[in-house]
């Protein structure tokens, strides 16, 4: 089993003059589920984007390590699976075409069997050849999970994972979290109590609001 960790050191983020959070020091490691909590506008999405190195912090740093070796930022995308409400897939492609393109752009061979397995798991297999512009918001949300899991990443970052999902969809997400937590590092950013109840450690962003 690989040992993956994310170390956050003195993280500060400002948007203009507005402080989002100040001096966050935290460590995340595999085989655990972490929660990021806070009310709307508290910076949960910003924090997970910084964790994934999608945006830069104003100050401080984020270090990803796999088996104690630092992972270069350039290669980080192959280690992270990300689900978020502001993540969009290509509407003009079918679910399968989207997944095929993503695998190839990552430089990996498209694993048709694993893709079908995930599509079946998220109840999308029957519609895999439909353009996703015809999907409901719940179906699009489920497809984002397939997108996040297809390359078998060590880190799963779920920002508001159950938004737009019905009860069956939510149960599937919780089942995935419980199943994957043994060997993956899972981070959930949410203000839903049920989502956070699966987390062993919770980082409350409201505590980092003062200068």
Partner 1 sequence: MKAYSLYKKDWQSELRTRYAINALSMFILVTISVILFSIGSEKITEYLTGGLLWVVIFFSAMSGLSRAFVSEEERGTTLTLQLIASPSTIFSGKLLFNIVLVFLMNIAITILFSILFDSFIIKNIELFLIAFLFGNIGIAISSTIIAAIISKASSKGTLYPVLSFPILLPLILTLLELTKFSMDGNSIEKSFVEIAVLISYDVIMLTASYLLFDFIWKD
Q: Does 179 bind partner 1 (CB under 8 A)?
A: no
Q: Does 1 bind partner 1 (CB under 8 A)?
A: no
Considering only 106, 168, 179, 207, the residue that binds partner 1 (CB under 8 A) is: 106
Q: Does 107 bind partner 1 (CB under 8 A)?
A: yes
3-state secondary structure of 100: helix
Considering only 4, 21, 34, 102, the residue that binds partner 1 (CB under 8 A) is: 102
Asked whether 172 and 121 are in contact (CB, 8 A), the reply is: yes
Q: Give the start-end residues of each E strand in the chain.
A: 4-15, 18-29, 32-37, 59-66, 69-70, 80-83, 155-159, 185-189, 201-204
Q: Does 209 bind partner 1 (CB under 8 A)?
A: no
Considering only 86, 109, 167, 182, the residue that binds partner 1 (CB under 8 A) is: 86
Looking at residues 116 to 175 of the shown chain, list those that interact with partner 1 (rule: CB under 8 A): 147
Q: Does 88 bind partner 1 (CB under 8 A)?
A: yes
Least distance between partner 1 and beta carbon 137 (Å)? 13
Least distance between partner 1 and beta carbon 78 (Å)? 9
Considering only 93, 114, 125, 174, the residue that binds partner 1 (CB under 8 A) is: 93
Contacts of the segment 20-28: beta carbons below 8 A, 24+ positions apart: 20/46, 21/46, 21/47, 21/205, 21/208, 21/209, 22/208, 22/209, 22/210, 22/211, 23/60, 23/208, 24/60, 24/203, 24/208, 26/203, 28/185, 28/187
Chain positions contacting partner 1, by CB under 8 A: 52, 54-56, 74-75, 77, 80, 82, 84, 86-93, 97, 101-102, 104-107, 147
């Amino acid at each position: 089993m690989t040992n993956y960790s994310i170390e956050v050191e003195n993280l500060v983020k400002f948007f203009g003059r507005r402080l989002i959070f100040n001096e966050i020091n935290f460590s995340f490691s595999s085989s655990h589920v972490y929660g990021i909590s806070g009310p709307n506008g508290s910076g949960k999405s910003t924090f997970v984007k910084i964790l994934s190195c999608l945006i830069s912090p104003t100050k401080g740093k984020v270090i990803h390590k796999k088996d104690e070796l630092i992972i270069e930022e350039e290669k980080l995308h192959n280690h992270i699976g990300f689900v978020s409400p502001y993540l969009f897939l290509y509407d003009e492609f079918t679910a399968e075409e989207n997944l095929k393109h993503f695998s190839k752009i990552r430089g990996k061979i498209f694993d048709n069997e694993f893709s079908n397995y995930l599509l079946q798991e998220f109840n999308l297999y029957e519609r895999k050849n439909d353009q996703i512009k015809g999907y409901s918001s719940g179906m699009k949300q489920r497809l984002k999970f397939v997108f996040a899991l297809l390359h078998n990443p060590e880190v799963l970052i779920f920002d508001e994972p159950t938004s737009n999902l019905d009860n069956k969809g939510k149960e599937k997400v919780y089942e995935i979290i419980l199943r994957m937590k043994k060997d993956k590092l899972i981070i959930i950013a949410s203000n839903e109590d049920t989502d956070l109840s699966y987390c062993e450690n919770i980082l409350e962003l409201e505590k980092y609001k003062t200068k």
